[in-house]
Amino acid sequence: QGLIPLMYTGLINYRDGAPVKTIPAPSDEHLVWPEETAMQVADKQVPLPVDRRIELTMKKFTHTHHQHQTTLGNTLYKPVLVPTLYTALLMGDLAANSSVYGPQTNAYILKHLEVVEIVINNPELEDHTFHFHGHNVQVIETGPYGNSSTENREPVAHKVSGPWPMWRDTIQVHGFEFIRVRFRADNPGVWFLHCHLAWHEYNGVAVVFVEAPGVLQQRQSVPKEMVEMCKRQGIPTQ
């Protein structure tokens, strides 16, 4: 079943005093999971031509107080005081500078309509499920990354998509594997890319894409209702 089982079973009783039943222990060994690179889209969209490439390698480290954390790229993501969307909308031309979002926002500024290729490298044993906000992505390629022999694990196979890659908003990056995906930055906004395991996201396995902030400022503004909501919660807005 690996480090994290892919299937869980449970029992829910809706009536007090109902007899307690036993259920078999879950096992995902018999499940066959689809290979994204083996599937093709029906509308036959070809791979997007790449304008920019961002490579994100997962890195694990241990604090002096023995807390273990993992980064996606070189920065450990931490939530900011001022919501990143507000910064993107209110900072004018400075919104195109990633430093205005704070040192641990792990922010990448994307140009409007550029095609971005993201490569995620996982040199560790544990699998990670990554979710893209704001976009579906074309799954282009997967393959081995790192030294799986240190964990007595067979290297993952190298697989390349066919002529019409599958689109996904959630992808699985197995241990000792890389994955290559692409999307067009045609949705101005602030979009999160994070591990879908809640405790990994909480511990900083995430990045933020600030997409076309200049276009975003022309199309949107912060509603006053949102500003009031933040004030009631003690969240600064600038």
Share of the chain above pLDDT 70, in %: 92
CA distance 162 to 234: 50
Residue 199 has pLDDT above 90, yes or no: no
Give the position of tokens 């290979």. Answer: 35
Confidence of residue 2 (pLDDT cuts 50, 70, 90): very low
Helix (H) or strand (E) holding 168: strand 167-168
Residue 4 has pLDDT above 60, yes or no: no
| CA-angle at 196, arms to 6 and 4, nearest 5° | 30
Q: What is the mean pLDDT of the chain?
A: 89
User: How many CB atoms within 10 Å of residue 159?
Assistant: 15
User: How many CB atoms within 10 Å of residue 204?
Assistant: 20
Q: Which of 16-30, 45-59, 196-210 has the lowest mean pLDDT?
A: 16-30
Model pLDDT, residue 96: 97
Q: How far is CA 83 from the centre of its chain?
A: 18
Give 115-128 pLDDT, tens digit per residue. Answer: 999 999 999 888 89
Joined together, the tokens standing for residue 117 give 């290729």
174 Cβ contact list (under 8 Å, min separation 6): 122, 127, 156
Q: What is the pTM of this model?
A: 0.86
Give 76-114 pLDDT, tens digit per residue. Answer: 899 889 999 999 999 999 999 999 999 899 999 999 999
Model pLDDT, residue 121: 97
Joined together, the tokens standing for residue 114 give 């550029």
Longest pairwise C-alpha distance within the chain: 65
Mean pLDDT, range 206-224, rounded to an integer: 96
Could you tell me the CA-to-CA distances from 163 to 73, 178, 179 in Å, in that order? 29, 20, 17
Model pLDDT, residue 173: 93
Mean pLDDT, range 155-167, rounded to an integer: 94
Strands 115-122 and 52-62: parallel
Q: State the burial class of residue 1 (Cβ atoms within 10 Å of its Cβ: 0-12, 13-18, 19+).
A: exposed
Helices (H), 138-235: 198-202, 213-219, 224-232
| DSSP category for residue 113 | T
Residue 14: phi and psi, rounded to 5, are -105, 0
Confidence of residue 22 (pLDDT cuts 50, 70, 90): confident
Model pLDDT, residue 5: 60
